[in-house]
Chain A
Amino acid sequence: MEYSEIMVRYGELSTKGKNRREFIRQLGQNIRNVLKPFPAVVVKAQRDRLHVVLNGQAAQPVMDALQQMFGIETFSPVVKLPKDADLSEIQRTAEAMIKEQYQPVQTFKISTRRQNKNYPLNTYGVDDGVGSYILKVIDGIQVQMKKPDINLQIDVRLSGIYLSSITIPGALGLPVGTGGRATMMLSGGIDSPVAAYLAMKRGVKVDMIHFFSPPYTSQQALAKAKDLAAKLAAFGGTIDFIQVPFTKVQEEVKKRVPEGYLMTIQRRMMLRLAAAITLDRHCNGVFTGESLGQVASQTLESMRAINDVTSLPVLRPLLSLDKTEIIKIAREIDTYDLSIMPFEDCCTIFTPPAPKTKPDLDKTREFEKLIDVDGLMQEALAGIEVTKINVGDDYLNAEEDVFAELL
């Protein structure tokens, strides 16, 4: 079946009142962004629906991309006929469409809507004409009005006659970019990509902050974090990946701070740096992959001691999720296999054998005076590198082309 367009129905947008136009504009822009690999495709973001006109492009890869876009409630592949197409043309198209998904013995119904009042047949005329034709040409098919297996919708509009029989659920959420802008502390583990995904689901555009500690952590660990960002770009387009050199901070903390408070102060330095970057980039919050009680740094007491360094919102979408729930989402968004690759990251080096699970805030502040906070901050911020990462980018397997030649 050659479809002429994909019709996209908006999600929560319809309840957003005055901001509606902004949501539609942003969704249109996001969709254009991910559909760049298909130059023939034209995206028309209209008030009630968004139309992805295929112009000969195969529907499936386009639908695969749309499936991951936040802000879409459902979408349907559609065949468009001329506005004056006669009944026999509608019948033939309907037949082809139904046959593509029909399995014996299923039920169907025809739902016609007519905006074009000049069309010679009325709603009932189209329903009846197409329905009786289908009953005649497809053996065994039965009509059922309530919950049919196949619901063929025929939209008789001024611009044309639209037929669709499949409705595919979208990713819901809000279009990325409509929820403001934030930073995200992306480690390379299982949790933070999932947290980033959930932030994006609420429409937030996230810039990824990644701390790395050469030579203690490897180039592969950095490449892995970038690959994770590339996976996440599927949900909202290009991602700014900000790598922050963290070696000096870690060495200093390790050298000067009592072992029990090493982790807490290290984390405070990370959050301080993240906060500075957040403000510098005019973002309004920091997302993290923390989940309550998972590790020593994620107890309420630890969070308080760490959070003490900034008044920015620190947002934790995974706070109440169990590890198994987080892993389930990680698998769904295809970050899991990457996340479990075994490279040390800066969270796992220099971990004391017994970090304080309930650090004391006053003591934390005291011990922190042992290091040159401002100097270390300045040095780290001066060493930042930013990379724009797109969906499909591959940093871990940058050699693949060379390999393809060899193999």
Chain B
Amino acid sequence: MIYFDNSATTKVDPAVLKTYEQVSENYWGNPSSLHRFGEEADQLLIQSRRQIASQLGVQPAEILFTSGGTEGDNWVIKGTAMAKRQFGRHLITTQVEHDAVKHSMQRLEELGFEVTYLPVDEEGRVQPADLKAALRPDTILVSVMAVNNEVGTIEPLAEIAKILQDHPKVHFHVDAVQGIGKGIHDLIFNDRVDFVTFSGHKFHAPRGIGFIYARTGKKLTPLLDGGGQERGQRSGTENLPAIAAMAKAVRLLKQNESHAVALEQQLRLSLREYLQQFDKVHIFSGTGDHFAPHILCFAIEGVKGETIVHAFEEDGIYLSTTSACSSKKGLTSSTLSAMGIAPEIARGAVRISLSDQNTMAEGERFKQVFATRYEQFKTLS
């Protein structure tokens, strides 16, 4: 099989899985317990946090574990709203965010907060000037994703950061769930960013685990109250096997980053070049350096995305409609509509998303299948 749906989830790395098993077997004590067994688990937790922090070049205290990207986004957005509500009730995000961000914002709107959803250009990029215009004295949060999960656009975080230098009290959140390990570390961890969300299963760690980066000194109200784990910021017994496994996955990811980015980029551009020859193919992911190396979004005019997905599935090739989360709801992509793509074309959109486990040979196989399928699709429309 050829798995081209890595933005939905990745396969757990065998070495990472081994860590998960070994920790489950040998360090299953509760890190909060006083006894030796708990203490060992706590040491492992400390080491895991240290390792992730050092791989990312931040302080261990700035890493807080969560259950994944959705929790991270919810926490930063709602936690900021709670912590800073006396300073203002205005938040800014974009029209192309993941639902975890968008729906958190909508929930806050129900509670009386006001949200500005910034538009994007035809490549899916926010205009920094729009952000500048949207900022108000009562703005408390700006939340912009690093890499769009549907088309792979890299948002102009550096320019946004520059604008926010003049607004030091506004929390700046980056949803980097699709951005880790993609060669844009310095863009994500710029001087102004306060919070970043990550999710383990997007980089070969298990699902159900993730973490946020929270800059020292920036206040966030916890969403989960209880036993006071994570320095009182996020209660709940730590998921140590998953945390240790994720720490290992981060290390492997960082060690392998430049190689992986080069491979994914090469494969993506080769597929893109190939697809360009076909008249009815519309490609939404560009070639510039503001597109992530691993996502290629395109549509075949007149053919529903779902049809394409199932057709390729018959040949053992797994693609996705634009995002796994919304695909079963039969909705057209909000990113594509924000980019101004006509609904009848957006309807046909599918996403190839790569990881370092894919090969150029898989790309060649895809091209063969595509040629055949394309002929078949032509008779449909």
Q: Which residues of A contact B (CB under 8 A)?
A: 218-220, 396-397, 399-400, 403-404, 406-407
Contact = CB atoms under 8 A, between A and B. Distances in A.
A403 B247 CA distance: 11
A406 B36 contact: no
B41 to A, nearest CB: 10
A16 B99 CA distance: 76
A356 B160 CA distance: 65
A407 B22 CA distance: 11
B321 interface: no
Contact of A220 (B39, B44, B48): B39
Contact of B247 (A219, A397, A407): A407
Contacts of A396: 43
B22 A406 contact: yes
A401 to B, nearest CB: 11
A406 B40 contact: no
Interface residues of B, number: 17
B66 to A, nearest CB: 19
B221 interface: no
Given A218-B36, A219-B36, A220-B36, A407 B43 contact: no
B282 interface: no
B19 interface: yes
Contact of A406 (B23, B34, B35, B39): B23
Interface of B: 19, 22-23, 34-36, 39-40, 43-44, 47-48, 51, 244, 247-248, 251
B65 to A, nearest CB: 14
B36 A407 contact: no
A343 to B, nearest CB: 9
Which of A219, A399, A406 has the most chain B CB within a 10 Å cutoff? Answer: A406
A407 B51 contact: yes
Contacts of B23: 406
Which of A218, A400, A407 has the most chain B CB within a 10 Å cutoff? Answer: A407
Nearest to A220: B39
Contacts of A399: 40, 43-44
B40 A407 contact: no
Contacts of B51: 407
A407 B39 contact: no
A406 B43 contact: no
Given A400-B47, A407-B248, 16 more contacts: A218-B35, A218-B36, A220-B36, A397-B43, A399-B44, A403-B43, A403-B47, A404-B47, A406-B19, A406-B22, A406-B23, A406-B44, A406-B244, A407-B47, A407-B244, A407-B251
Contacts of B48: 407
Contacts of A218: 34-36
CB-CB nearest 10 A-B residue pairs: A403-B47, A407-B247, A406-B19, A407-B248, A407-B51, A403-B44, A220-B39, A399-B43, A406-B244, A397-B43
Contacts of B44: 399, 403, 406
A220 B39 CA distance: 8
